[in-house]
Amino acid sequence: MTQSLPPLNALRAFEAAARLNSFSAAADELHVTHGAISKQIRQLEDWLGLRLFERSGGRVKLSETGWRYLVQIQDGFDIINSATAQLREPSAQRRLVINSTPTLAMRWLLPRMGDFQRANPDIELRIATSDRDITRLDAPFDIAIRRGPGDWPGYVSQPFLEEWELPLMSPALLERHPVKKPEDLARHTLLLADTRPTAWPRWLTLAGVPELKPAASLQFDHFYLALQAAIDGLGITLGPLPMMQHELNAGTLVAPLPTPVVPVRGYCWIVPRSQMDDAAVNAFCNWLERCQAPAGQSASLPDSVSTPGRD
């Protein structure tokens, strides 16, 4: 069996360079020189008889063959990593690394995590946030949360949370400048986010005012900043529900226009195929599917606001 395995040091160099998309970054991570990484990858390519990187003008780029190979061998590295960790710390508390998009982690996941930890005291959670594609992450994870469904070779995924959008604003701002119809938004500042560039145009089109020009706009590089700006009364954001249900229930935000309700892509949990037999992973994924709202609350809008699919 060992005769069919490629050189393991070369395989390690390739995995790091492909994952980090950089020979230099791989060299830093593995504490070797750039030349050593390049030599190891050449050795692996010669052993395979295939080109894993495209080289042009001193630059390298992962080839389609290299991309497919990376996805497949990462399962093997994950299995080795998990087995080694369990062997070295058999009595240690099981740690799950959850990689989530930042807004979902802050507004939906963190307020609910206490319930999971009380029910699973032997599982320690480590939360990391990123908007990057899961195949481009710098660190391994047990469970990722991303919008989906998507095409993730080598992973198992399942939808667990639907989402829809409505304009949200602070009660104080609504009292100063009432909003009773979509055209009233022209007197307000609209809060925009680089991470959701099509949200407002989509909603305004469905509301029948595609050419509406707001009094002003504020642009943020991330959506959670736009949400906080809405809470602070700086303008109106196009907010996600049920993610912002707590703010609606608490009265820190209101939804002045009940329609149109715009469904958007929901969220999926994503797990490396090699981890699907892990009891802790299954416990967290099952909990996500059950956990639609904080204890004692339902993932619904106030009576004046309809939900997707309702008249």
In this predicted structure, which of 17-31, 154-168, 171-185 has the lowest mean pLDDT? 17-31
Same-domain pairing of 80 and 167: no
Evaluate whether residue 280 is within a structural domain: no
Q: Are 253 and 172 in contact (CB under 8 A)?
A: no
- 23-30 and 34-48 helices cross at what angle (nearest 10)? 110
Evaluate whether residue 224 is within a structural domain: yes
Same-domain pairing of 78 and 170: no
Evaluate whether residue 91 is within a structural domain: no
The better pLDDT of the pair 190, 67 is held by 190
Cα–Cα distance, 240 to 253 (Å, whole number)? 12
Evaluate whether residue 19 is within a structural domain: yes
Q: What is the pLDDT of residue 244?
A: 84
Q: Tell me which residue has tokens 């990689």.
A: 99
The better pLDDT of the pair 227, 191 is held by 191
Evaluate whether residue 74 is within a structural domain: yes
Q: What is the pLDDT of residue 88?
A: 64
Q: In the chain, where does DSSP find H-type helix?
A: 8-20, 23-30, 34-48, 64-88, 102-104, 113-119, 171-176, 199-206, 223-231, 245-250, 279-290
Mean pLDDT, the chain, integer: 84
In this predicted structure, which of 83-87, 127-131, 138-142, 255-259 has the lowest mean pLDDT? 83-87
Cα–Cα distance, 242 to 189 (Å, whole number)? 23
Evaluate whether residue 111 is within a structural domain: no
Q: What is the pLDDT of residue 209?
A: 95
CATH of the domain at 63: 1.10.10.10
Q: How confident is the model at residue 63 (pLDDT cuts 50, 70, 90)?
A: confident
Phi (first) and psi of residue 269, to 5 degrees: -90, 145
Answer positive or negative: Cα dihedral of 265, 145, 270, 14: positive
Evaluate whether residue 293 is within a structural domain: no
Q: Which two tokens stand for residue 145?
A: 């949360």
Q: What is the pLDDT of residue 149?
A: 86
Q: What is the pLDDT of residue 86?
A: 62
Q: What's the domain range around 52?
A: 2-86
Q: Which two tokens stand for residue 244?
A: 């912002």
CATH of the domain at 244: 3.40.190.10
Using a cut of 0.85, tell me whether the model's pTM lies above it: no
- How many residues are there in the chain? 311
Where does a domain end: 33, 57, 86? 86
* Position 67 pLDDT exceeds 70: yes
Where does a domain end: 43, 61, 86? 86
Total domain count, the chain: 2
Evaluate whether residue 302 is within a structural domain: no
pLDDT per residue as tens digits for the range 141-163: 999 999 988 888 889 999 999 98
pLDDT per residue as tens digits for the range 77-128: 777 776 676 666 654 568 899 999 988 898 889 888 889 999 999 899 999 9
* Position 56 pLDDT exceeds 50: yes
Cα–chain center distance at 4: 37
Q: What is the pLDDT of residue 148?
A: 86
Cα–Cα distance, 299 to 117 (Å, whole number)? 21
Where does a domain end: 37, 61, 86? 86
